[in-house]
Structure 1
């Protein structure tokens, strides 16, 4: 009896392995049938090709509407040539709390002055110091991926308390 149970157990474990091997074999055969253009594009990788020009940044200084709550605001001005290193952050010369009145720039969020535990710090948190990890300048280009997002207010959902 014990031998029969063991053979069933081994047979049960072989099925997924055989299925995975068959899938791998079919995928390899499909890749082998593709032509070289389908894998690397029209220009062979060893030949130089001209890069597309970089798009111009939107630099109108107009604040953009955010698409969703908690979205980091986009940068509405040029940051070309800004230094963002461990020792220097040009963004802070205008957006740091003590400089906003003179510069007229919006102050960075108070969350940037908090550590991971929510404790307030005297200076910007090291994890929030590199602005371009979350904030990006905008270019007037077509999106790479289509978007069908619809805001709740456009769906006709009423506000709390509306009858």
Structure 2
């Protein structure tokens, strides 16, 4: 019983000091890494600053587009998909992002769905961040003629 009273007394004494520390500015004492208010959402132009360069073309027909921005700390699992915040049909115009292809709204039987099909939900299986990096192993691959850059 004495331990509980001591803990409650310690909390009561330290709470005002903690409250003062947190209320040092309008954002509750938190500084944003974006140097903006924590409550504001960045515009799509902010995301574009993370690009590795202009969007790279495709080397073969039906190649999934590469992601022209960082996906570090993106959550894409059975509980959440961070990509849909910007790329869903509902949000893409708001963020100036590329909309998910209509094919991603069809299930494996070809039926049109109201939301992204479960077999297309895990974006990072097919789409990867682009990087203009030296190949790990040289190869002689050539894109199809219609996709070659002249």
- Shorter-chain TM-score range: 0.5 to 0.7
SS at match of 1:145: coil
- Structure 2 residue aligned with 1:118: 110
CA contact (8 A) 2:52 2:132 kept: no
- TM-score normalised by structure 2 residue count: 0.59
- Structure 2 residue aligned with 1:63: 55
More helix per residue: 1
Q: Do structure 1's residue 141 and structure 2's residue 140 form an aligned pair?
A: no
Between structure 1 and structure 2, the one with the greater Rg is 1
Runs of 4+ in 1 over 3 A off after TM superposition: none
Partners of 2:137 and 2:52 lie apart in 1 by: 25
Gap regions ≥5 residues in structure 2? 1-49
RMSD: 1.8
One of 151, 155, 160 as aligned partner of 2:143: 151
- TM-score normalised by structure 1 residue count: 0.55
CA contact (8 A) 2:69 2:129 kept: yes
Matched pairs, number: 97
- Structure 2 residue aligned with 1:97: 89
Note closer, same or farther for the CA distance 1:107–1:124 as it changes in structure 2 (3 Å cut).
Answer: same
Measured after TM superposition, the shift of residue 138 of structure 1 is 2.3
Gap regions ≥5 residues in structure 1? 1-57, 155-163
Partners of 2:74 and 2:95 lie apart in 1 by: 16
Note closer, same or farther for the CA distance 1:125–1:61 as it changes in structure 2 (3 Å cut).
Answer: farther
